[in-house]
């Protein structure tokens, strides 16, 4: 998008920046008034008003008034028909006129029934395809359409999302087709996720009830935390994008088979994948089978697939193990989605499961909470990469945190190790891979030192 006068003034005197912002707004308002005079059709004039209401001033001021009117007319014509329940997307050439001269641009027009995630998902798709966006307009418009989807004076009222994006001029039709196909795929994923989100929340409640009715054996503390975590997740801390049920079969080395017609959201299609790639997605490795047979009620990890909805990142995967009356594994209810900002902004001790991990690590460290060392360890745990904290086991977390902290335990001796390099890599430079590798190695050394110190202490006490 074209830098505004206010943006160009960023970093200068605040009064100058405020003055530049006011100039941008006044310039945009003048362009709007002049441009509207070119529109004689009342329907087009009303569309013009809706299209540019609330638009960034710099995106309006980049065009001459006659070009603004032409842009609104193009968007009006290209959005004339949208069939119910479908997305309508077109890309058209646009000869733009500005104060600096003429240029050729392309305009993408996308119309959908209004729903969450449309705009940010489309922007992420275009960014992934390398498209440059020069101006954007995204009004929500109350339309009336007939049964064929045509804009009409009488018909079905519908609240629509209209997205108009100004792009570089496209060289060929193939490039335009690729952009449109990508946008269609993204909007389809958005529709599936929005359509099924209430049912996915119901599935979560059913999974919680199933864990309470048929819990795993001998794991009451983690079961309680797991249930609390699922309840926390359902309290607006997780954006549900997909869900699917699996049945577990212990034959042939163990298998997790998807249950027909159980898919919801982005997992509604049978070929949609979460973790494994390749032809065989049901046979389990010995390591996975061993983990599934543990009484741990939840599986929390990252999907191999990036989300096309909302944020273009690897989806979070939360699997709820399902147990029979005998406490043995019978299946899994799998959810994919994105943890919301609250999952990243809150301290670990405010989030179920994470608070249990932090508590256990703190107890094993045996440091006074209000001491300098205790506060340093708490700082490390509070700032541990959140995605890693969801997935990491307690033993690995303990070794990594103690390595980053750099102090051996003082339960039986006063031996101390202070690897300031690891601490800096972890806390100051955010080089988590290097810090984790070094700190795990140090954690093992720490354990060895502690083991020897304890035994020496015990021998001295009994001598």
**Burial, 216: exposed, middle or buried (Cβ in 10 Å; 0-12, 13-18, 19+)?**
buried
CA distance 181 to 228: 41
Q: What local confidence, expressed as pLDDT, does residue 20 receive?
A: 72
Structural domain spans, the chain: 5-170, 196-345, 348-462
SS3 state of residue 317? strand
Alpha helices in 406-431 (DSSP H): 420-427
Q: What local confidence, expressed as pLDDT, does residue 452 receive?
A: 55
Q: What local confidence, expressed as pLDDT, does residue 86 receive?
A: 96
CA distance 55 to 139: 8
Question: In degrees, to the nearest 5, what angle opens at C-alpha 429 toward C-alphas 351 and 433?
Answer: 70
CA distance 232 to 238: 9
- What topology is assigned to 196-345 in CATH? Beta-Lactamase (3.30.450)
pTM of the model: 0.83
CA distance 48 to 264: 38
Write phi, then psi, for 275 (nearest 5 degrees).
-115, -60
Q: What local confidence, expressed as pLDDT, does residue 443 receive?
A: 59
CA distance 164 to 187: 15
Q: What local confidence, expressed as pLDDT, does residue 420 receive?
A: 41
Concatenated DSSP letters of 213-261 = HSPPSS-HHHHHHHHHHHHHHHTTTEEEEEEEEEEEE-GGG-EEEEPTT
Q: Mean pLDDT of successive 10-residue segments in the chain (463 residues)?
A: 51 68 88 96 96 95 96 98 96 92 95 98 97 96 96 95 95 92 98 98 98 90 96 97 94 86 95 68 70 89 94 96 93 96 93 96 91 88 92 90 62 38 44 56 57 48 38
Q: What local confidence, expressed as pLDDT, does residue 415 receive?
A: 37
Give residue-wise pLDDT tens across range 254-294.
889 999 999 999 999 988 888 755 555 566 767 677 788 88
Q: What local confidence, expressed as pLDDT, does residue 34 receive?
A: 97
Q: What local confidence, expressed as pLDDT, does residue 130 receive?
A: 95
Q: What local confidence, expressed as pLDDT, does residue 96 receive?
A: 94
CA gyration radius, the chain: 29
The token pair that represents 435 in the structure block: 């810090």
């Amino acid at each position: 998008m074209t830098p505004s006068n206010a943006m160009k003034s960023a970093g200068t005197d605040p009064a100058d920046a405020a003055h530049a912002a006011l100039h941008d707004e006044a310039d945009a308002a003048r362009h709007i008034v002049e441009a509207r005079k070119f529109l004689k059709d009342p329907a087009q004039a009303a569309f013009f008003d809706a299209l540019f209401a609330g638009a960034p001033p710099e995106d309006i001021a980049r065009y001459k008034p006659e070009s603004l009117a032409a842009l609104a007319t193009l968007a009006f014509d290209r959005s004339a028909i949208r069939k119910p329940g479908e997305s309508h997307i077109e890309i058209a050439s646009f000869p733009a006129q500005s104060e600096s001269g003429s240029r050729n641009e392309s305009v993408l027009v996308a119309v959908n029934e209004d729903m969450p995630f449309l705009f940010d998902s489309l922007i992420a798709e275009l960014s992934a395809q390398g498209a440059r966006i020069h101006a954007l307009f995204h009004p929500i418009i109350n339309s009336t359409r007939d049964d064929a989807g045509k804009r009409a004076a009488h018909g079905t009222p519908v609240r629509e999302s209209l997205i108009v994006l100004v792009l570089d001029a496209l060289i060929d039709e193939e490039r335009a087709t690729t952009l449109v196909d990508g946008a269609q795929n993204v909007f389809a994923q958005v529709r599936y996720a929005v359509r099924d989100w209430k049912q996915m929340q119901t599935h979560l409640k059913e999974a919680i009830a199933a864990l309470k009715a048929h819990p795993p054996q001998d794991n009451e503390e983690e079961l309680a935390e797991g249930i609390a975590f699922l309840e926390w997740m359902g309290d607006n801390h997780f954006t549900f994008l997909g869900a699917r049920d699996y049945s577990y079969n212990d034959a042939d080395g163990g298998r997790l088979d998807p249950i027909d017609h159980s898919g919801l959201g982005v997992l509604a299609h049978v070929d949609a994948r979460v973790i494994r790639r390749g032809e065989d997605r049901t046979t389990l490795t010995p390591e996975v089978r061993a983990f599934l047979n543990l009484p741990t009620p939840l599986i929390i990890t990252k999907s191999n697939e990036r989300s096309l909805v909302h944020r273009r990142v690897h989806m979070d995967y939360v699997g709820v193990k399902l147990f029979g009356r005998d406490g043995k594994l019978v299946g899994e209810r799998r959810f994919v989605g994105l943890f919301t900002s609250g999952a990243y902004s809150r301290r670990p001790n405010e989030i179920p499961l994470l608070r249990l991990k932090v508590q256990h690590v703190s107890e094993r460290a045996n440091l006074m909470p209000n001491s300098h060392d205790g506060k340093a360890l708490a700082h490390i745990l509070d700032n541990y990469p959140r995605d890693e904290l969801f997935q990491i086991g307690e033993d690995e977390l303990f070794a990594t945190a103690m390595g980053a902290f750099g102090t051996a335990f003082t339960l039986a001796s006063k031996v101390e190790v202070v690897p300031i390099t690891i601490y800096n890599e972890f806390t100051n430079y955010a080089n988590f891979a290097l810090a984790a590798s070094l700190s795990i190695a140090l954690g093992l050394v720490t354990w060895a030192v502690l083991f020897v110190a304890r035994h020496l202490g015990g021998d001295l006490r009994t001598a």
